[in-house]
Structure 1
Amino acid sequence: MTTPTSGAPTKVTLRLLEKTDREIVKLDRPIVGAVYKFQHDFRANPRHPGLRLKQLEGHERLHSARVNADYRALLLHLSDSEWLLVAVKHRKHVYENLDRLSYGINQVTGSIDYVDLEIVESGMLRKGRPPAAPAASRPTPVAPGPAQERPLFAEVTPEQLAELGVAEPLIPVVGRLTTDEELLGLVEYAPRHTGEVLLRLRDAPYEQVLEEVTRPVEVRDVDPQDYQAAVERTDTTVITTDKDLESIIEERDFGRWKVFLHPTQKQLVTRRYSGPARVGGGPGTGKTIVALHRVKHLVDRLGPGHSKQVLVTTFNKNLAADLRARLLALGGPEILARVEIAHVDQLATRVVREADPGSTKSRIDDTRALNEWRQILLETGETKWDAEFLMDEWTQVILGQAVNSRVGYFKARRAGRGRSITRADRAEIWQLTERFTQRLDEKNLETHRQVAERAARLEIERAARLEAAARASEESGGLGNVHAQSATGAWQRYRYRHIVVDEAQDLAAAHWKMLRAMVAPGPDDIFLVGDTHQRIYDNRVTLGSLGVHIRGRSAKLTLSYRTTREILRSALRLLGDERYDDLDGDDETLAGYRSVLYGSEPVVRRTDSFEAELDAITEQIKAWHDIRREDIAVCVPTNDMVTQVTARLTKSGIVSTEITADGPRGDEGVHIGTMYRFKGLEYQRMIIAGVQRGLVPRASVEALRRTDPARYQAEYKRARSLLFVAATRARDALTLVWHGEPSPLLGDLAAMADSC
């Protein structure tokens, strides 16, 4: 195939190969600007003399085109009207290493593999030691040397690597890898499927990787010359306007990542499950993306109609709004027309109001409820119990087990609650609880926890009526109608056919009871995603005991597509040696959790004063002048710090906006908020400030070490999860800063600190 002749169409379609944008963004800004102009000119007329498009010697499809005086674009010619941009390189590096450039159609996945061996091996050199020299160029040894390191994949044959879909030119290189650093250096520049196979192969046997990673994307009868079919199986982006490439480069693939489903995840989306199913995995592994694609899959399978038969829910307003925006980007308004999107407390409120439309009670959050508890303790002079303990006992034991009497509380289970209490203690606590609920009634208030419990009871009663009607219909030889007549004479049915839950680890028992009753038990009824390492509320549940049976229908994602390896490694250290559950009574680990991205090491800074800490925050944001302010976030432990940081940034001329319970207050500026506000959000660069003793965790937690050790451990663990969540919101860069004594949660990370 040669360069198109004058008879070819003038305008062409230009595609961008995945990972190419990550290389372009590393170039100097003037060169990136030249790339923007180049793509505009090339799409308009690739034969323009100024572009100097020409076929590279020894390559049938690979061409070069002029970006500026020093840089060239490398493009694969797919058809007369379609091109694939695979690299932008200095012209010297193009023409001196033509024999190191390789491309072809992967005979396993059917996608296009482009490999620059020079770049791959230089990546290995930066991350580890140089790859072994070819045998012909090795000097003859004069004396025995140290024992050669064992290759990482010594147990895997070249034939097996090929069967797994490893790019053919890289198979000899893979055989020489001896350290994880070399492996990660190779993965950074290898085709995506090759990287995923190799990372998974470090933790699992060949047979398992074949089934879990390769089989889902395997293509039969691949035509090695059909590049038009191959490009449809390749992770590319079509550039149709001048803004397309710019948005990809400026966002560093961030927007596309938020809806992109990797082929290896597709099987989780399209599988038919015999009942509730769960997908777990660490931050950035694509759990939410899987959930969103699952929603689209379920909607696509619905018959004609306009009713909203699929529910998507999560635990707060911010996340629900984000899910709506991402689902709209993924499937458009047609998908949203069949989907109900609501956070669980909003859903519970709707159920209760439907049953009691005349209620005028105001809802209060946990912070306001805790203040009410403190007022009761002040009024009664009670010092034996603290407000946090009473609040926890009321929500987790009394409301959690739907206890509605003193006798019922005496019988309630408290396994794992920590502090041991006697029968007399229970009597005192019940008396205080009655006083608390009476106080709320007098103020015409109710908590979201109370609403959730009432909603659960209402939905359970509703489901029981439906089941009774179905049994009666079956016994009378009817048509098996699952509808039931309500008191108003209206016909009822289960509210939804399918429910999809995001951030499942933070839902309370009452939420699960309500959701379970909203959908008929059966195939594909409930699909949930979550990670208990990111649990930031004390909602510990065993789903099986609540009727949500996921055993045998759980899967785990292990590759992070968002957070760099360097940030991930530091974040995992924040978790310490804590044990985490899998939402169904067993332990959960992050074993095998890896990142496919590389970046800089997190910056750790200790300052001498709060003023110096504010200065450090300001200086860091100014240093990040190459990205949009909205892609930067400052995370702090308290609301007071939000106010103080905002004031300092304003004084320094930096626009910022606070993240509230309803999302960012404004559309522009650096995002600032407390750690709780960042759950489920993502940023290119992140500062976590105030990471010091007494704030992370809060000082009151330390006091529990002596008075309530079990509760101390639970609060300490929750603080770890909160810091872990904050750290993994960053994709490219993370800065940790504090003044005074560092948080004990930092561990050996504190020793890495630079003083300022």
Structure 2
Amino acid sequence: MSVQGKATLRLLDKADKEIKRLPRVVKGAIYDFQYKFRENPNSPGLRLKQLKGNDRLYSARVTDDYRALLLHVGESDYILVAVRHRSEVYDNLDRFHHQVNPVTGGIEFLEVVESATVRAASGTPGTSEPSGSEGPGSVDSPSAPVADPAPEPGAERQKRSEPEPSGEPPRAHGRPLLAGVSAEQLRELGVAEALIPLALDVSTEEKMLGLVEYAPAHSEEVLLALAEGKGFDEVLESITRPVAATEPVDVTDYSAALNRSTTRVTTEDTDLREAIEDDFGRWKVYLHPTQERLVKRRYKGPARVSGGPGTGKTIVALHRVKYLVEQLPPGRTKAVLLTTYNRNLATDLRKRLLDLGGQELVDRVHIVNIDSLANQIVAEAAQGGRRRWISDAQALDEWQDMLSEIGETRWDADFLNAEWSQVILGQAVNSRADYFRARRAGRGQRISRAQRAEIWQLVERFTMRLDEKRVWTHRQVAEIAARIKGEQAAKIAAYKDDEAQHGGPMLHRLDQSWANLRHDYQHIVVDEAQDLNPAHWKLLRAMVAEKDDDIFLVGDTHQRIYDNYVSLGSLGVNIRGRSSRLTLSYRTTKQILGSALGLLGDEAWDDLDDGSDNLGGYRSILRGPTPSFIRAATWHEELDALAAQVSEWRGIDGDNGSIAVAVPTRDMVGEVERQLSKSGISSVSIGPDGPRAEAAVHVGTLHRFKGLEYRFVAIAGMCDGLVPRRGIERFRESDPLRYRREIQKARSLIFVAATRARDALAVSWHGSPSPFVPTSVASAPAPSLDDGLFRPTNALF
């Protein structure tokens, strides 16, 4: 076939995973190849030619020794499916398989060699290893497909010695892993046809991992779910049906397949360097069909998406912002608000949205953390005058000082500060009468009407104290901002009511200026929704009209690390019937996930709307090493072991900011940094706006890790009295609900930190371990320093 003029070239998902393993010089040549091919695929230097016996598969020259395998999908459209040494391209061409999957309708590419070694690239997003990961490794067995080892930089791909074919497919020893599943059922689930006989023959999990490492992504997810013991009906319902084509699939129509969401390719003319080397670049070019449906759905009001760490909630939120902006009429206004709890997350969201849609998209979106938004509103309204900010911890100190000064002993500072913050400020309570009627769901300790009167009197005295000192808290400002915007929303509603009832405003009742009032935004998208307090939600509810697609929020209450408990329905954000869950982790390995879930324990978790939530069905198809759980005799010994582990990781990762250490206290941050410095390791602390530098080991308290991601994470100081902090014991008897909430918060902190790790996790302690550490791990014999403290002592929880 002769192609005239320019061509389009896309990269099939998972092809990048193999390209990363090629010698550096070959990768550089691929980047040059893509531009030359797009400009003129018939350039003599590219040597484009159709492979014998295959009407769609072509080869083209990348270097003297390497060839690009290209799938021609129609007209001038090509997909780069693999890059091979030239000796592998022209021999045994029947090992290359491509198809339009009859169930999902997506394009898939698969290579099966004589030893059943399988390479494949295809399918749905997010199921491959994170950028930079080497995956679970290969299994060199004649009965299981395996992947080539990564070649050394500059080295040629080595030919493996393959066993002589016997004329019959090899049989696995022992009972097949998928015993009880038929070939027809695998077809119904959408497994690639070439993999079915191989999958039915596999007898060990290790061999199954070798089979699916480069298999089409949908086949990988299905086969691993079955291998883990899930039944046919469950896999059909949770994995296959969400991505199944809604119309009959013509398996010969590759052009139509290219346009389906189940064909995961880079967008036209996307730079291969970006798709291969940039972590977020992989995310921004596609969504899993399950996610895409959530992004592009029209909701009859507020909607929520929940899911565990690494399930792509933030990515869904960012794509939702892009989708909403694309529906807006042309203009210059920032009609969409994208908000989250803290500053470093807001900064990260801005960068990611810029990567996703460019400056034109960012110009239509107000990206700000929620407290900064409240500050802007209060400042513009000139309320409160010039004041100094104090933290929640400083506010608690003020409560303690005041109670000591007046000799109050009936109420403790912790309880009063929480009552003031969560109930009075959280619900924008402005009078004693309103406080008598306020809901206190979840506050635990019951109080009488007379006690509410006493508390209100103390709260009034406390706020006067802050006024006199010219200080205030972020919670106070959020309440003021919510009140300001609530009054504005009430005026808008009154004006519209007059218009509806009388054909226009009744000027004797309404100020003409009300006609110019508008809601601040057309749409609001909230990331990390579990961390917002009630005043925040009242503020957001007032800033957008109640209509279709008004508020879209993503979050996970298992990752709540602040004392913010809300009932969204009671605050005017009605998500009932419009809630969805994501269950597949694209970041965390199965091994890390199992340990992290163990850290959560058996606590009950809320769903932000007076119901319960859980991580049932939360899973990962990524594989990695078993996390290490290690005890040391002293903090000094633990620091020595930590430095040794970080040094080992740096040998794998270099010094590019993909290693992090999390500790319970600020003092420990400095001690870890000093220990790493003594070992010649550069490190930086994580502040409110994120790490101060990228090319160093990041060290921070557990609270600082929300929204971050690393290849390697160490959690140090997992000791009794530190995790959870010893001070909460006083609530065990006096306020059981509060005690349980404090335990939950501590578990969430550890859960968040543990699930920041993509490839490896190490948890250590000195002295007595945290009660969160399972007995089986905590009681294991402590290895000596010479053995390396950060070696696994136990498998998953």
TM-score when normalising by structure 1: 0.85
Cα displacement (A) at 1:435: 3.1
The answer on 1:713 being equivalent to 2:708 is: no
Preserved contact between residue 243 and residue 262 of structure 2 (Cα < 8 Å): no
2:773 partner SS? helix
Counterpart of 1:518 (choices 543, 556, 579) is 543
1:668 to 1:138, Cα distance in 2 relative to 1, 3 A: closer
The count of residues paired between Structure 1 and Structure 2 equals 734
Deviates more, 1:593-602 or 1:397-406: 397-406
* Structure-2 residue corresponding to 1:17: 12
Superposed, 1:548-563 pairs within 5 Å as 548-563=573-588
- Alpha-carbon distance in structure 1 between the residues aligned to 2:605 and 2:711: 28
- Alpha-carbon distance in structure 2 between the residues aligned to 1:654 and 1:602: 23
The answer on 1:578 being equivalent to 2:603 is: yes
Corresponding letter in the other structure for 2:335: Q
Preserved contact between residue 34 and residue 68 of structure 1 (Cα < 8 Å): no
Corresponding letter in the other structure for 2:263: T
The answer on 1:34 being equivalent to 2:25 is: yes
1:429 to 1:333, Cα distance in 2 relative to 1, 3 A: same
Cα displacement (A) at 1:574: 1.0
1:500 partner SS? strand
- Alpha-carbon distance in structure 2 between the residues aligned to 1:189 and 1:157: 20
Cα displacement (A) at 1:501: 1.1
Superposed, 1:96-111 pairs within 5 Å as 99-111=94-106
Superposed, 1:384-533 pairs within 5 Å as 385-406=411-432, 408-410=434-436, 412-421=438-447, 425-426=451-452, 428-478=454-504, 491-533=516-558
Cα displacement (A) at 1:78: 2.7
* Structure-2 residue corresponding to 1:682: 709
- Alpha-carbon distance in structure 2 between the residues aligned to 1:171 and 1:465: 65
Deviates more, 1:606-615 or 1:512-521: 606-615
Preserved contact between residue 636 and residue 688 of structure 1 (Cα < 8 Å): yes
Cα displacement (A) at 1:666: 3.4
1:329 partner SS? helix
The answer on 1:213 being equivalent to 2:213 is: no
Corresponding letter in the other structure for 1:477: G
* Structure-1 residue corresponding to 2:307: 281
Deviations 1:582-638 (A, max 9, x none): 222222121111113222222333233323333333333332233442222222211
- Alpha-carbon distance in structure 2 between the residues aligned to 1:76 and 1:712: 60
Preserved contact between residue 176 and residue 201 of structure 2 (Cα < 8 Å): no
1:153 to 1:531, Cα distance in 2 relative to 1, 3 A: farther
1:96 to 1:438, Cα distance in 2 relative to 1, 3 A: same
2:23 partner SS? helix
1:501 to 1:746, Cα distance in 2 relative to 1, 3 A: same
Cα displacement (A) at 1:668: 3.8
Cα displacement (A) at 1:413: 4.1
1:687 to 1:326, Cα distance in 2 relative to 1, 3 A: same
2:405 partner SS? helix
Counterpart of 1:295 (choices 310, 321, 331) is 321
Cα displacement (A) at 1:302: 1.0
Deviations 1:442-479 (A, max 9, x none): 1111111111122222222221211111111111124x
Cα displacement (A) at 1:256: 2.5
Corresponding letter in the other structure for 1:169: A
Preserved contact between residue 486 and residue 539 of structure 2 (Cα < 8 Å): yes
2:295 partner SS? helix
Cα displacement (A) at 1:248: 5.2
Preserved contact between residue 31 and residue 272 of structure 2 (Cα < 8 Å): no
Cα displacement (A) at 1:572: 1.1
1:654 partner SS? coil
1:32 to 1:564, Cα distance in 2 relative to 1, 3 A: farther
1:501 to 1:139, Cα distance in 2 relative to 1, 3 A: closer
Preserved contact between residue 188 and residue 598 of structure 1 (Cα < 8 Å): no
The answer on 1:540 being equivalent to 2:575 is: no
Deviates more, 1:625-634 or 1:76-85: 76-85
Deviations 1:486-511 (A, max 9, x none): 68677101111111111111111111
* Structure-1 residue corresponding to 2:153: none
* Structure-2 residue corresponding to 1:376: 402
* Structure-2 residue corresponding to 1:76: 70
* Structure-1 residue corresponding to 2:265: 236
Deviates more, 1:315-324 or 1:653-662: 653-662
- Alpha-carbon distance in structure 1 between the residues aligned to 2:52 and 2:783: 51
* Structure-2 residue corresponding to 1:695: 722
TM-score when normalising by structure 2: 0.81
2:375 partner SS? helix
- Alpha-carbon distance in structure 1 between the residues aligned to 2:19 and 2:268: 15
Deviates more, 1:655-664 or 1:549-558: 655-664
Deviates more, 1:653-662 or 1:59-68: 59-68
1:746 partner SS? coil
Cα displacement (A) at 1:95: 8.1
Preserved contact between residue 216 and residue 266 of structure 1 (Cα < 8 Å): no
Cα displacement (A) at 1:639: 1.3
Structure 2 alignment gaps of length 5 or more:
121-135, 146-164, 790-797
Preserved contact between residue 177 and residue 204 of structure 2 (Cα < 8 Å): no
Cα displacement (A) at 1:190: 2.1
Corresponding letter in the other structure for 1:448: H
- Alpha-carbon distance in structure 1 between the residues aligned to 2:449 and 2:259: 71
Deviates more, 1:590-599 or 1:14-23: 14-23
- Alpha-carbon distance in structure 1 between the residues aligned to 2:167 and 2:402: 81
Preserved contact between residue 534 and residue 564 of structure 2 (Cα < 8 Å): yes
Preserved contact between residue 276 and residue 526 of structure 1 (Cα < 8 Å): yes
Deviations 1:260-316 (A, max 9, x none): 422331111111111111111111111111111111111111112222221111111
- CA RMSD in angstroms comes to 4.1
Corresponding letter in the other structure for 1:315: Y
Counterpart of 1:746 (choices 773, 776, 779) is 773
Deviates more, 1:399-408 or 1:73-82: 73-82
Corresponding letter in the other structure for 2:25: A
1:446 to 1:167, Cα distance in 2 relative to 1, 3 A: same
Deviations 1:548-568 (A, max 9, x none): 111111111111111122211
The answer on 1:269 being equivalent to 2:295 is: yes
Cα displacement (A) at 1:259: 6.5
Preserved contact between residue 78 and residue 227 of structure 1 (Cα < 8 Å): no
Counterpart of 2:681 (choices 654, 669, 672) is 654
2:698 partner SS? strand
Deviates more, 1:585-594 or 1:53-62: 53-62
Identical aligned residues as a percent: 53
- Alpha-carbon distance in structure 2 between the residues aligned to 1:585 and 1:64: 59
Cα displacement (A) at 1:710: 2.4
Structure 1 alignment gaps of length 5 or more:
none
Counterpart of 2:657 (choices 608, 623, 630) is 630
The answer on 1:318 being equivalent to 2:344 is: yes
Cα displacement (A) at 1:177: 6.4
Cα displacement (A) at 1:193: 2.8
1:306 partner SS? coil
- Alpha-carbon distance in structure 2 between the residues aligned to 1:658 and 1:375: 32
Superposed, 1:151-166 pairs within 5 Å as 151=178, 154=181, 158=184, 161-166=186-191
1:265 to 1:217, Cα distance in 2 relative to 1, 3 A: farther
Counterpart of 1:723 (choices 750, 756, 761) is 750
Preserved contact between residue 661 and residue 699 of structure 2 (Cα < 8 Å): yes
The answer on 1:642 being equivalent to 2:669 is: yes
Cα displacement (A) at 1:187: 4.3
* Structure-2 residue corresponding to 1:613: 638
1:555 partner SS? strand
Cα displacement (A) at 1:577: 0.8
Deviates more, 1:119-128 or 1:519-528: 119-128
- Alpha-carbon distance in structure 1 between the residues aligned to 2:90 and 2:516: 75
Corresponding letter in the other structure for 2:464: Q
